Structure 1
Amino acid sequence: MVNKEIKVIKDIIQEKVNLQTVLFTSGDKGYNYPFLSGKVKQGDEVLVNTTAVDLKLGTGGYHFVIAKYPFEKEKKKSKGHIMKLRYTPLQFKTYPIEEQLGKQLDYISLKGTIVITAELHSMLAPIVLSLKKLNAKVKVAYVMTDSGSLSATHSNSVTLLKKHKLIEGVITSGHSFGGDLEAINPISGIQGAKIAYDADVIVVSMGPGIVGTGTQFGFTGIEQSYLSDLAQNIGCTVYPAIRLSFIDSRKRHRGLSHHYLTNFGYLCNGRFDIVLPKMARKKTKFVLSQIKKHNISKKHHLNIANGVNISDISKEFQIPLSSMGKGYDENRDFFNGLTSLGRYVSSFY
């Protein structure tokens, strides 16, 4: 059940394209997506979803605006007829690339196009920054899936990467929304990224907010396995980004995360080049023992590359680097695991 309250807007704290952060007269805060609920201003009365805050869940203490009063109707008819958030009270119409490009999608060749699949949204920025630091001319596009946040505008990384032209564009696929282009599924999203942006490298991952349960298969990042297979099946050269850490308090995420070991030791069908960073001997030994235990070395080809120091470029563009609450210097292995892949891929351009 959705918990709802009527609240009044006291102030607009922050405003960016398709996202307003608001303060209510009750003293709590919320997010508003103008293209879903209409743009709000001081004094507006709004209907608010308070469920996650009431349950003390992970939205950072923010409510979500459902609608404002009086209700508004679309003033001009827009193109498209594909609904996202289908059969929910917030279903809305989009004009996806499948409608825009039609049969062009069927004839596009993806041979030689590099796709990097990533489990966590926090992997996007380090991958892109390492690629651009080593080769500023490489064209990178981002296809966002619907396994995390459904709104691309909720991602600060996406906002900043677009602002500084580090990515050519964003395609939101499935029920995710708010990208430069919309797609019905991630595969069409990859095709669209090639046609619309002439992308050399396409990063595919969910938005912020992975869901995990501690069970073997109960995590939304399981999509990395089948998306890697699907992208390879349509002709792309696929590199699955690793999830590596030695500081996570959860034993199952030490070294290579059990998510990664499940995806590429057990679930996927394809054979991929997996890139590991150069590490201290003890850490390397531990990771190699995981790889052997889960038959990853039998299924895939292993490569080793140096990580890339991206602290300077992240500061230059004011793009924070953090994953699971740990910053760049605290969890260097995590970021080296991603930037070593950036180094490996950039060598092809």
Structure 2
Amino acid sequence: MQDVRREWPGAVELTVLIDDDGPRRALAYPALVGRPEPGDTVLLNTTALAMGLGTGGYAMVVAVPDRLPPDPAGPGHLVKARYTPLQATVLGADEQDSPHHGLLREADSLYGAPVIVADLHSALPPILAGLLAERPGTRVVYVMPDGGALPAWFSMSIAQLRAAGALAATVTVGQAFGGDLEAVTVHTGLLAARLVLDAEVIVVAQGPGNLGTGTKWGFSGVSAGEAINAAAVLDGRPVGCLRVSEGDARERHLGVSHHSLTAYGRVALARAQIAVPELGGPFGQRVAAAAASLGDRHELVPVGVEGLRDALASAEKDWGVRLSTMGRRLDEDLAYFLTAAAAGRHTAALLA
């Protein structure tokens, strides 16, 4: 290891030297592997480098062989990333040793709390921008399932949103870990967000690094439809955030992405409110027409986007968070960010 480039809660970004390959970026999670120091030899997984991945384009530190971390000493019986070399034991909010077990043991309702569901992790900041521009101070908790990155520590956005006060807390569910609270399922994650962390609004979206195969069903975002079902069965108010793009080169994602149409139109069996942005012009008509196919199953709610471009730019500046989706910045795919912000704006109106 050569030096530390930067760090944020739960993660340290390093410069490492790999044989004759020169300096490369690497990422370590100190809670799992200890904290590497300059001069250390580190064992790396270089899969992401070899594949040229964008979101996860790091060599991942597997171990610091000459200086192992201390053995875990904390309470907890939930094993996440199970039966992998870096499996982690955590204390689940819903397990018997948790101080919250009594509260969650028979819990069965979100008491009408809105639950915004989105496909991509990049929707989290613009959702918050739209929501908090309309209703400052709203207490928002993010529930992160395991469709993308497993460690919540991978997300710089979470750390920046927390530091800025835009996000109150994170609950990691399923095989995901590293949140302020851990839970076994999306259902207990939602209940923990509402009952333990006092969320007024809950956002559910997979972590960074979603997976897609270009097939109708082979993408990790199908979990958005499952999250709609979970929110509804627990007496929440599910709000579907559409994945919309005007800048994606792939036809299946132009306008309303097939991810949203499949997740909300086929996977979600419960009724939700779907925020449909009023984008205007031919592209806005294209989005409205595609969203109309969801009208038999869900309530379509038109949402104006006036002023949301400024709210997004202000959020990026004030919170220090980088608005980016699939490598495209705010004005390179404005429709994507306006659509997510519109879901936040609509949700603020539900709390009025």
TM-score w.r.t. structure 2 length? 0.91
Residues 81, 337 of structure 1: alpha-carbon distance in 2 compared, 3 angstrom cutoff: same
Residues 291, 306 of structure 1: alpha-carbon distance in 2 compared, 3 angstrom cutoff: closer
The alignment partner of 1:150 has SS state of coil
Whether the aligned pair in 1 keeps the contact of 2:32 and 2:69 (CA below 8 Å) is no
Please point out which of 21, 31, 35 is paired with 2:13: 21
| Residue of structure 2 equivalent to 1:33 | 29
| Fraction of identical pairs, as percent | 34
Q: Give how far 1:147 is off.
A: 0.5
| Residue of structure 1 equivalent to 2:38 | 42
Tell me the distance in 1 between the aligned counterparts of 2:91 and 2:331: 42
Residues 43, 260 of structure 1: alpha-carbon distance in 2 compared, 3 angstrom cutoff: same
Matched, 1:86 2:82: yes
Residues 255, 25 of structure 1: alpha-carbon distance in 2 compared, 3 angstrom cutoff: closer
| Residue of structure 2 equivalent to 1:6 | none
Q: Give how far 1:134 is off.
A: 1.5
Alignment coverage as a number of residue pairs: 339
Aligned counterparts, 1:76-155, within 5 A: 77-99=73-95, 100=98, 101-105=100-104, 106-107=106-107, 109-155=109-155
The alignment partner of 1:126 has SS state of helix
Whether the aligned pair in 1 keeps the contact of 2:172 and 2:181 (CA below 8 Å) is yes
Q: Give how far 1:163 is off.
A: 0.4
Tell me the distance in 1 between the aligned counterparts of 2:335 and 2:6: 34
> What's the Cα RMSD here?
1.7
| Residue of structure 1 equivalent to 2:62 | 66
Residues 57, 328 of structure 1: alpha-carbon distance in 2 compared, 3 angstrom cutoff: closer
Unaligned segments of structure 1, at least 5 residues: 1-8
Amino acid paired to 1:14: R
Q: Deviation per CA, 1:71-97, whole angstroms, max 9, x where unpaired?
A: 536357211111111111111210011
Q: Deviation per CA, 1:12-38, whole angstroms, max 9, x where unpaired?
A: 111222211111234222111000001
Residues 222, 75 of structure 1: alpha-carbon distance in 2 compared, 3 angstrom cutoff: closer
The alignment partner of 1:53 has SS state of helix
The alignment partner of 1:107 has SS state of coil
Amino acid paired to 2:223: E
The alignment partner of 1:172 has SS state of strand
Tell me the distance in 2 between the aligned counterparts of 1:340 and 1:55: 35
| Residue of structure 2 equivalent to 1:302 | 300
Matched, 1:276 2:272: no
Unaligned segments of structure 2, at least 5 residues: none
Residues 77, 265 of structure 1: alpha-carbon distance in 2 compared, 3 angstrom cutoff: closer
| Residue of structure 1 equivalent to 2:342 | 340
Q: Give how far 1:342 is off.
A: 1.4
Tell me the distance in 1 between the aligned counterparts of 2:69 and 2:315: 44
Whether the aligned pair in 1 keeps the contact of 2:144 and 2:171 (CA below 8 Å) is yes
The alignment partner of 1:302 has SS state of strand
Residues 78, 273 of structure 1: alpha-carbon distance in 2 compared, 3 angstrom cutoff: same
Q: Deviation per CA, 1:116-156, whole angstroms, max 9, x where unpaired?
A: 11100000000012211211121100011110011111111
| Residue of structure 2 equivalent to 1:3 | none
Q: Give how far 1:304 is off.
A: 0.8
Residues 70, 306 of structure 1: alpha-carbon distance in 2 compared, 3 angstrom cutoff: same
Amino acid paired to 1:337: T
Amino acid paired to 1:296: L
Q: Deviation per CA, 1:180-209, whole angstroms, max 9, x where unpaired?
A: 111112211111111222111000111111
Whether the aligned pair in 2 keeps the contact of 1:52 and 1:59 (CA below 8 Å) is no
Amino acid paired to 2:294: I
Whether the aligned pair in 1 keeps the contact of 2:256 and 2:290 (CA below 8 Å) is yes
| Residue of structure 1 equivalent to 2:206 | 206
Residues 205, 61 of structure 1: alpha-carbon distance in 2 compared, 3 angstrom cutoff: closer
